[in-house]
Amino acid sequence: MSEKSIQEYLRAGKRAHLVGIGGVSMASLAEVLHGAGVQVTGSDQREGASVAKLRQLGISVGIGHRAEYAQGADCVIRTAAAHDDNPEIAAARAAGIPVFERAQAWGCLMQGYRNALCIAGTHGKTTATSMCTHVFMAAQLDPTVMIGGTLPLLEAGHRVGQGDTIILESCEYCNSFHAFFPTVAVILNVEADHLDFFKDLEDVEQSFRTFAQRVPDHGVVVANCEDANTMHALEGIDRRVLTFGVEQGQVHAENLVMDRGYAAFDVVYQGSVYAHVALSVPGMHNVKNALAAAGAAIALGVPGWAVERGLGEFHLPGRRFEYKGEYNGAKVYDDYSHHPSELAALFQMARSLEYRRIVCAFQPHTYTRTHELFDDFVQVLGEPDVTILAEIFAAREDNTLGISSNDLAQRIPGSVYCPTLEEVTRKLREVAQPGDLIVTVGAGDIYRAGEALLAPV
């Protein structure tokens, strides 16, 4: 279905049924549609805080997936996890009710905002989108926001504002961000990932190029000029490109000082200091995320003081180097990193914090990613002092490749393979020592191993 056809359904008086309404992106979508006068109903697999909040707004939510839930709807919008064999999807198709993807709905909605700030990249999207949110909130611009994680400032992964700006984390998987209409598109980095969908790096680059070309003539592409793949993807593009980088770029850092992993620096634009930023989150990768947020702010005319205040008060969203507690004198953190480059940035940052040892419990995410990037995982997972490997988190896949985390363990000297999360927790109890940094890492449910470690016995 075209974007024009979905616009006919997402307006006051129409009923939209959302399948998987409890997810971060779907719940925020439901709130925005409800606020626009659309009659919203939905379904989800289980009860939860987001479902309870939607019901408080007067949105009817059914638990489980039943064909009758979709009856009488003008259109159905589905989360990426809802496939054609879902009873509600099947019933809608049988009844001639149009079925749209979540990204199409967001793309339709963002056309109603003067400014649509879309943050994309292989890594760092959630953090950079969260930083942008802090900046625009500090500037009192009342943005509508959709983030793929829980931001402490919002106590949620989304907010519905009354301002003329919408800020969205924009994912390349299945080319979903091609349904978006950014007026400012941020590209943090481009790497080979999601190789269950993309053919290779060139295919990924083409996807990001198409995303950038969706920016109108009066819009801006904010791009990391220190990332070769990003600049290759944008080569010769006929859009205004505002570059950023730590040392290079139209927006860059000067007078950078690192203190035990935490950075303070001037943001320089057109030869002048636009803002002075002192970050309360560690790591050089967060300096780059902050510069991306500053670039987006410059592109949209936000004053430098809002960047200073917003980034100065910024705290990482959930599962982004999130402090969980202490066990046997070791500090326990959790992190969402699941790509070799993300792991490298995480370990580099962790080293700067001067712990005695780094103990990493890593859960690979998807069989295809583990297989395609196997050698890179072997190299980077050799960096911690202790590496514990949980079994691969399947997510959306079946193990047709016959691959296991034990294959990684065979190649990483001193690493330990633990087939279950219970065994991961037992191993963490065994190795934890005072002065250690323990970090559970991965995009699946590895955080449960750390939480079990900290739970009262």
Same domain, 307 and 331: no
pLDDT tens-digit map of 302-351: 999 999 999 999 998 788 899 999 999 999 999 999 999 999 999 999 99
Q: Which one is catalytic: 101, 122, 125, 440?
A: 125
**Structure confidence at residue 198 (pLDDT):** 92
Residue 420 bears catalytic tag: no
Closest-CA residue to 77 (of 25, 130, 132): 25
**Structure confidence at residue 308 (pLDDT):** 98
- For residues 329-341, b (16+ Cβ closer than 10 Å) or e, as one string? ebbbbbbbbbbbb
* Percentage above 70 pLDDT, the chain: 99
Count up the domains in the chain and report the number: 3
Q: Which one is catalytic: 169, 191, 308, 391?
A: 169
**Structure confidence at residue 320 (pLDDT):** 86
pLDDT tens-digit map of 161-174: 999 999 999 999 88
CA 419 vs. chain centroid, Å, equals 27
Among 312, 344, 376, the domain boundary falls at: 312
d(CA 446, CA 420): 10
pLDDT tens-digit map of 362-402: 999 999 999 999 999 999 999 999 999 999 999 888 999 99
Would residue 153 count as lying in a domain? yes
**Structure confidence at residue 313 (pLDDT):** 94
| Structural domain of 12 | 3-101
> In a 3-state reduction of DSSP, which class is residue 338?
coil
Q: Which one is catalytic: 79, 122, 126, 129?
A: 126
pLDDT tens-digit map of 276-306: 999 999 999 999 999 999 999 999 999 999 9
Is the separation of the CB atoms in 74 and 97 below 8 Å?
Answer: yes
> In a 3-state reduction of DSSP, which class is residue 121?
coil
Strands of the sheet with 416-418, listed across from one edge: 322-327, 330-335, 436-441, 357-362, 386-390, 416-418
Among 262, 281, 312, the domain boundary falls at: 312
Same domain, 256 and 354: no
Among 312, 338, 365, the domain boundary falls at: 312
Closest-CA residue to 292 (of 67, 121, 51): 121
Same domain, 95 and 127: no
Q: What is the mean pLDDT of residues 212-241?
A: 97
Is the separation of the CB atoms in 76 and 65 below 8 Å?
Answer: no
Is the separation of the CB atoms in 256 and 183 below 8 Å?
Answer: no
d(CA 97, CA 64): 20
Query: Which residues, at least 6 apart from 74, have a Cβ–Cβ distance to it below 8 Å?
Result: 9, 14, 15, 16, 97
**Cα distance from N-terminal residue to C-terminal residue, the chain:** 54
pLDDT tens-digit map of 53-69: 999 999 999 999 999 99
Would residue 361 count as lying in a domain? yes
pLDDT tens-digit map of 423-452: 999 999 999 999 999 999 999 999 999 999
**Structure confidence at residue 48 (pLDDT):** 87
| 312 secondary structure, DSSP code | H
Q: What is the mean pLDDT of the chain?
A: 94
CA 350 vs. chain centroid, Å, equals 21
Residue 125 bears catalytic tag: yes
Same domain, 189 and 225: yes
CATH of the domain at 118: 3.40.1190.10
Predicted TM-score (pTM) of the model is: 0.83
Residue 354 bears catalytic tag: no
